[in-house]
Amino acid sequence: MTDELINRAAEDIIKAKKVVALTGAGMSVESGIAPFRGKGGIWEKYDPVEYAYIDVLRTDPGKTWILLSEMQKEILKAKPNPSHLSLAELERLGFLSSIITQNVDGLHHEAGNKNVIEFHGNHRQAYCMECGKQIKSEEISLETLPPRCDCGGVLRPDVVFFGEAIPPEALTKSNQETRSCDVMLVIGTSAEVQPAASLPDIAKSSGATIIEINIEETGFTGYTSDYFIKGKAGEILPKIVNKVKDESTNLSA
């Protein structure tokens, strides 16, 4: 069954004029970064209302930085896994127009993808909330929390907190890509957080085929998704890309 769906996905990708991928935390689990929801998820340990809303960062930055420092340590030591490398290969082969990622770990860039829309920002970049000075997260000492700029202001990663707006350019580009694709790969996301979770429905209403890859069913499965391939992204995606390579080589031969 899974092999049939992998073959079907490869055919849909080859036939498509424009393929877009929407990725979530499930892409990076095999790189050692904890997901937010489900078993071992970050929100099991830290209540997002207490730690991850913009008003907490403003009123009690030391508390938010307890969560941020844990995330930062995982992100800065993580490397792309076969799921990231597969999407980079798909772009190189000319079968992937863009990735809209909810992840802030920067691993799609690390894997080599050029057209990545960071819907929730990037934790590898940071800036001072007082003077705006930009700084790489790897240069931030986590000895004392919250970390501060030379000016005394509190530093924060360049990510979207709950209660903050999606960066306007990311939102515009994501909507353009979503409305103009004819295949959307929806990989490793629980479909829980808006406005990212609306993108597959928008793509579908624009006529796209929605292919979902996840280790378990989500709110998209059986509704938004045209078909669901159950499995780890790091195992399913390499098989799909290998099939695309085989089939497209035959086509051009």
Contact residues toward ligand APR (CB under 6 A) are: 24-26, 29-30, 35-38, 41, 102, 120, 188-190, 192-193, 214-216, 218, 232-233
Q: Catalytic pick from 84, 109, 120, 123?
A: 120
For ligand APR, the closer CB: 121 or 146: 121
- Point out the residue whose Cβ comes nearest to ligand APR: 26
Alpha-carbon distance 111 to 113, whole Å? Answer: 6
Least distance in angstroms from the C-beta of 150 to ligand APR: 29
For ligand APR, the closer CB: 130 or 192: 192
Least distance in angstroms from the C-beta of 124 to ligand APR: 15
The amino acid occupying position 169 is: E
Alpha-carbon distance 75 to 138, whole Å? Answer: 10
φ/ψ of 144, rounded to 5, equals: -115, 135
Q: Is the dihedral of CA 42, 45, 48, 50 positive or negative?
A: negative
Contacts of 48 (CB under 8 A, 6+ apart): 36, 162
Least distance in angstroms from the C-beta of 240 to ligand APR: 13
For ligand APR, the closer CB: 123 or 243: 123
For ligand APR, the closer CB: 149 or 196: 196
Strand 19-23 and strand 98-101: the pairing is parallel
For ligand APR, the closer CB: 102 or 209: 102
Helix, strand and coil percent figures for the chain, each rounded to 5? 45, 20, 35
Least distance in angstroms from the C-beta of 8 to ligand APR: 18
Chain mean position to CA 161: 15
Give, in order, the Cα–Cα distances in Å from 234 to each of 21, 139, 156: 15, 30, 31
Element (H, E) at 243: helix 233-252
Least distance in angstroms from the C-beta of 185 to ligand APR: 11
Alpha-carbon distance 35 to 43, whole Å? Answer: 9
Asked if 120 is an active-site residue, the reply is yes
Annotated catalytic sites, by residue?
A: 120
